[in-house]
Amino acid sequence: MPIEILRENVRTAHQELARSINGHADHPLHQQRTAALDAFLEQGVPTTRHEEWKYTNVLPFIGIEYAMTLCTTCFITDAECARTIGPIADALESGWRIVLINGRIDRAHSSIPEHVPGLRILPLTDATIAADARIAGVVGSNAPAQSHPFVAMNLALADQGVVIHVDANVRLERPIHIACIADTRTSHRLSTPRIVVVAEQGSSFDVVESHHTIGDMTALDVTVAEVSVAANAHVRYHKVIDDGESMRHIGSTSADVARDGSFTAHTASLGGAFVRNDAAVRLCEPSSQGFLFGTSVLQGHEYADNHTTVDHCVPHCHSEELYKGIYDGSSVGVFNGKIYVRPQAQKTTAYQSSHAILLSERAQMNSKPQLEIWADDVKCSHGATTGQLDEDAVFYLQSRGIDAAKARALMTYAFVAEVIERIELPSLRQHLEERIAEKLGAEPFAE
């Protein structure tokens, strides 16, 4: 009865959270937690009979006894932290870093910018939400708790996540790095980081969310990021999952975009036993734009599922989706892309494509575009391909003196590079180029 165990454990963890906030159960955040708990209990844990989880079986790791409550003995040294998040943190050269350990802000390992004009970084607590109606209004505003049990579970247990608030017309020079670490050295652990991003009118900035484990026991990392993009604001949200076999990640990144604003999400799935990413953008006012990009480079028994939703609510909006993956070994990829064009959303342009290369006979890719178009004056397209590497092209490169392994690396790398090149943050782009090259087993280009 793994599902019942999980439900009971979440319910217990929620009650403990209520006790810890000391009689403030009537605070708005806690009321949302309680509503979310009900939504979670009502939906239950999805099985593969559920359309949204058709290819994605969570049951194998749902019955594990996870520790869920605040870990008072989890102590991570500076060296351990640096070793874990170092590669990406160093590459970003940002210095603005928020470290969440088991879903909660850890100030000791963070380096939170304190005096940057127009930038506020706050813990997501009952007090924060009670004090700021603008931030409170974003929590639960676009992440689909009613239709996604894990999004509901995240909110039911959300505590001490992160709020990023950027004032009108502020352009941040550096990316804000959010590193989520699960400590699984002494127990299996469920962590539920909640991230709230508010971009006021005309602001522009980058966020990088990365996920890590310390320890060999199982981490179930259920992360939800909600973004509110005000008029003419531009937010680029990058998510990197490049971890080991302990990691099971279920994440949701969603945004509402106002007039002339844009939201770009890029998800890189480069490792982890199980990765499910839901990326959603709702274009709420005319001339808003949404871009969803994804790269998966998997091998062994790795698994990555990208579910996307683009909701065109009004006329004159534009969206683009490009997902590319390389699957070796027995790895499995899923792409499920939904586009809604509402009846009033005339003059919509919406383009979606998903392409995969399978390097082994055991690797698998499942693609499902789902377009629902209710307006009649729109331009929408979708394309999904799955294929093997072109062996004639490999021979062509060999005939120029490049060995077969390097030729394959060069071509597979070039295949995903089309997505990586779209990343506007140079430090992250370079880091991902290097990591992908490393994972493909050869330096794709001569120095």
Partner 1 sequence: MTPILSIQQLTAGIEDREILKGIDLVVNPGEVHAIMGPNGSGKSTLASVLAGREDYAVSGGSVTFMGKDLLDMSPEERAREGMFLAFQYPIEIPGVSTANFLKTAVSELRKHRGLDPLEPAQFLALMREKMKLVEMDSSFLNRSLNQGFSGGEKKRNEIFQMAMLEPTLSVLDETDSGLDIDALRIVAGGVNALRSSNNATVVITHYQRLLDYIVPDVVHVLWNGRIVRSGDASLALELEKRGYDWIKNEASVEA
Which residues of the shown chain bind partner 1 in the complex (CB under 8 A)? 390, 392-393, 395-404, 406, 410-411, 413-415, 417-418, 445-447
The separation between CA 341 and the C-alpha centre of its own chain, rounded to angstroms, equals: 24
Rg of the chain on CA atoms, in Å: 21
Task: Give me the least distance between CB of 384 and partner 1, in Å please.
Answer: 17
Indicate the residue among 72 and 399 with the shorter CB distance to partner 1: 399
As measured in angstroms, the least distance from the Cβ of 295 to partner 1 is 13
Question: Nearest distance from residue 434's CB to partner 1, in Å?
Answer: 15
For 263, list phi and psi in degrees, rounded to 5: -130, 130
The candidate with the shortest Cα–Cα distance to 192, out of 243, 227, 151, is 151
Minimum CB distance to partner 1, residue 318 (Å): 25
Give the C-alpha separation, 50 to 149, whole Å. 11
CA atoms of 78 and 99, how far apart (whole Å): 12
- In the complex with partner 1, which residue's Cβ is closer, 71 or 389? 389
User: How far is residue 280's CA from residue 294's CA, in Å, rounded to a whole number?
Assistant: 13
Burial class (CB in 10 A: 0-12, 13-18, 19+), 146: middle
Minimum CB distance to partner 1, residue 323 (Å): 16
DSSP assignment of 183-207: E-SSS-EEE--EEEEEE-TT-EEEE
- Please give, one letter per residue, the 3-state secondary structure of 58-125: CHHHHCCCCECCCCCCCCCCHHHHHHHHHHHHHHHCCCCEEEEECCEECCCCCECCCCCCCEEEEEEC
- Phi, psi (rounded to 5 degrees) for 56: -115, 100
In this complex, which beta carbon is closest to partner 1, that of residue 406 or of residue 429? Answer: 406
Distance CA(447)–CA(442), nearest Å, equals 12
Beta bridge partners of 322: 293, 353
Nearest approach, Cβ of 415 to partner 1 (angstroms)? 6
227 or 417, CB closer to partner 1? 417
In angstroms, give the least distance from the CB of 335 to partner 1: 19
CB of 240 to partner 1, least distance (A): 21
Of the two residues 59 and 414, which places its CB atom closer to partner 1 in the complex? 414
Choice between 42 and 390, CB closer to partner 1: 390
Query: How many Å apart are CA 17 and CA 10, to the nearest integer?
Result: 10
Q: Distance between CA 9 and CA 286 in Å, rounded?
A: 44
Least distance in angstroms from the C-beta of 307 to partner 1? 26
| Residue 373 vs 442, nearer CB to partner 1 | 442
Nearest distance from residue 385's CB to partner 1, in Å?
Answer: 12
Q: Which is nearer to partner 1, 19 or 400 (CB)?
A: 400
Question: 220-250: buried (b, 16+ CB within 10 Å) or exposed (e) per residue?
Answer: bbbbbbbbbbbbbbbbbbbbbbbbeebbbbb
Q: How far is the CB of 79 from partner 1 (least distance, A)?
A: 37
Long-range interactions of 40-46: CB distance < 8 A, separation 24+: 40/7, 40/10, 40/149, 40/152, 40/153, 40/156, 41/7, 41/10, 41/11, 43/147, 43/148, 43/149, 43/152, 44/3, 44/7, 44/149, 45/2, 45/3, 45/6, 45/7, 45/149, 46/149
Q: What is the largest CA-CA distance in the chain?
A: 74
Residue 361 vs 392, nearer CB to partner 1: 392
Question: Residue 22 or residue 399: which is nearer to partner 1 going by CB?
Answer: 399
Spatial separation of the C-alpha atoms in residues 390 and 436, rounded to whole Å: 20
* Residue 179 vs 411, nearer CB to partner 1: 411
Q: Which is nearer to partner 1, 312 or 439 (CB)?
A: 439
CB of 43 to partner 1, least distance (A): 42
